[in-house]
């Protein structure tokens, strides 16, 4: 790729520009890639361990595959079936110990069956800390690569198929994760229903360098005969900046006397927030407690929080009468499905609290669920929500009512006209 250098520039090779080289690799056939590495010293050198490079395995011939596997020590990013890591775990010639990113997926699993099949999963088929799931061969479990890759910075486990039942998160894997000294990102996305103990296990084994945590599962189920008050460790997570938690918690159809405290997710998120003093971004879905409780914990323990995104339903009246403190760095606040005030005092909790952050707020978004009793009430038309007129940095303001009507539309227009001086 020639270009004309100027008097003030140096002549560069494409080998000095990784992005260009990556694009070229993508446009080459897989059969062409290996000869390029073998024949060109410049290309070969770029795949040395000190350089960030990647090779995609797709329809390679057997000999080509083995030639690349024999250079496993040079791989920095590995995307692999979670049950097929045998060569990388037991390679005596070129140990795979220099990974920066490990992505574990489910290439080898069957296509999903009936839509409702995952709801019928027996808890004994789904792994938890007690290893009740199907045994996994430690010699092929890709998660065991965490222990041997000391410079690993990102771990992603993504399963989109519902036949994932084996327990790859063994106690040994959790221990290697919690003791890791460079792991800064953990992303777990599982399209299955899991016992609540799995969430607790993840939160109990977060490594100290962790900055980003993304946890998403199809659902969390309370295990019969187990305590619902189990809490994650109280260990402080000073590096944790961004947290996204979105399990679909739901009620057990066989129990009629449950409260929000019976949902294992509620206590887990509150405990995690308390132990993360430098949290900046928090996104929580399917929380079944009252938003006021979480806001108070944030005000007490997370002075640096800038973004709050809550989605869920409050099943109980909050155990707080007033919200104390403030969030002086809060820029964005999004709330969906929570506006379920049973009385005037309860309805003023959130807006009164947010009013104290009016000098920094840039985004306010409220989206009540249509199945809630007060969903047709426009909170921005109420006096307590008019504080947004005092937000000098406000750039986005939204209220999406599922029970909308002409009165709500008119109220919104009047408020907006006042804001812009029409």
Give Cα 78 to chain centroid, integer Å: 20
The Cα–Cα gap between 163 and 113 comes to 8
The model's confidence at residue 106, banded by pLDDT at 50, 70 and 90, is: confident
Q: Which of 137-151, 341-355, 372-386, 393-407 has the lowest mean pLDDT?
A: 372-386
pLDDT score of 3 more than 80: no
Q: pLDDT tens digits, residue range 122-153? A: 333 344 434 345 567 888 899 999 999 999 99
The model's confidence at residue 165, banded by pLDDT at 50, 70 and 90, is: low
Comparison of pLDDT for 413 and 199, the residue scoring more: 199
pLDDT score of 28 more than 80: no
Q: Which residue has the tokens 């010639």?
A: 93
Task: Name residues whose C-beta falls within 8 Å of residue 382's C-beta, 6 or more positions apart in sequence.
Answer: 347, 351
Task: Name residues whose C-beta falls within 8 Å of residue 348's C-beta, 6 or more positions apart in sequence.
Answer: 384
Q: Determine the longest span between alpha carbons in the chain, in angstroms.
A: 79
Q: Mean of the pLDDT values across residues 316-337?
A: 82
Dihedral of CA atoms 173, 179, 182, 187 in degrees, nearest 10, equals: 40
Q: Identify the three-state secondary structure at position 363.
A: strand
Closest CA to 291 of 347, 360, 252, 232: 347
The Cα–Cα gap between 169 and 175 comes to 10
* pLDDT at residue number 115: 40
Question: Which residues sit opposite 308 in a β-bridge?
Answer: 282, 333
Q: Which residue has the tokens 């920066």?
A: 100
Q: Could you please report the per-residue DSSP string of 76-120?
A: -EEEEETT--HHHHS-SSS-----SEEEEE-TTSPPP-STTGGGG
* Residue count of the chain: 422
| 142 in Cβ contact with 81 (< 8 Å) | yes
Q: Identify the three-state secondary structure at position 156.
A: strand
pLDDT score of 61 more than 60: yes
Share of the chain above pLDDT 90, in %: 27
CB atoms < 10 A from the CB of 189, how many? 16
Q: pLDDT tens digits, residue range 194-247? A: 777 888 889 999 999 999 999 988 777 766 555 444 555 678 999 999 999 987
* pLDDT at residue number 401: 62
* pLDDT at residue number 253: 44
């Amino acid at each position: 790729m020639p270009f004309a250098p100027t008097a003030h520039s140096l002549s560069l090779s494409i080998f000095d520009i990784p992005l260009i080289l990556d694009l070229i690799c993508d446009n080459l056939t897989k059969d062409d890639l290996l000869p390029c590495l073998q024949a060109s010293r410049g290309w070969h050198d770029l795949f040395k361990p000190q350089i960030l490079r990647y090779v995609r395995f797709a329809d390679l011939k057997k000999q080509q595959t083995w030639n690349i596997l024999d250079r496993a020590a040079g791989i920095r990013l590995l995307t692999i079936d979670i049950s097929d890591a045998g060569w990388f775990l037991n390679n005596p010639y070129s140990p795979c110990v220099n990974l920066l990113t490990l992505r574990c997926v489910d290439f080898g699993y069957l296509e999903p069956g009936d839509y409702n099949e995952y709801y019928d999963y027996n808890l004994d088929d789904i792994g938890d800390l007690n290893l009740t799931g199907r045994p996994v061969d430690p010699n092929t479990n890709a998660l065991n690569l965490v222990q041997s890759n000391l410079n690993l910075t990102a771990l992603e486990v993504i399963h989109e198929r519902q036949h994932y039942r084996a327990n790859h998160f063994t106690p040994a894997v959790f221990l290697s994760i919690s003791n890791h000294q460079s792991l800064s990102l953990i992303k777990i996305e599982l399209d299955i229903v899991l016992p609540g103990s799995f969430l607790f296990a993840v939160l109990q084994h977060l490594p100290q360098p962790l900055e980003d945590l993304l946890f998403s599962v199809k659902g969390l189920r309370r295990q019969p005969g187990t305590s619902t008050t189990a809490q994650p460790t109280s260990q402080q997570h000073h590096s944790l900046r961004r947290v996204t938690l979105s399990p679909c918690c739901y009620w057990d159809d066989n129990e009629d006397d449950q409260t929000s405290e019976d949902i294992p997710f509620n206590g887990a998120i509150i405990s995690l927030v308390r132990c993360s003093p430098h949290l900046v971004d928090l996104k929580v879905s399917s929380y079944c407690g009252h938003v006021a409780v979480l806001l108070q914990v944030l005000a007490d323990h997370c002075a640096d929080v800038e973004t709050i995104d809550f989605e869920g339903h409050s099943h109980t009246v909050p155990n707080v009468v007033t919200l104390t403190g403030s969030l002086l760095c809060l820029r964005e606040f999004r709330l969906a499905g929570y506006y379920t005030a049973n009385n005037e005092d309860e309805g003023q909790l959130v807006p009164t609290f947010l009013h104290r952050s009016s000098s920094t707020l840039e985004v306010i978004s409220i989206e009540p669920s249509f199945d809630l009793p007060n969903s047709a009430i426009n909170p921005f038309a109420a006096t307590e929500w008019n504080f947004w007129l005092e937000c000098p940095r406000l750039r986005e303001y939204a209220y999406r009512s599922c029970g909308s009507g002409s009165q709500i539309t008119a109220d919104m227009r009047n408020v907006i006209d006042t804001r812009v001086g029409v």
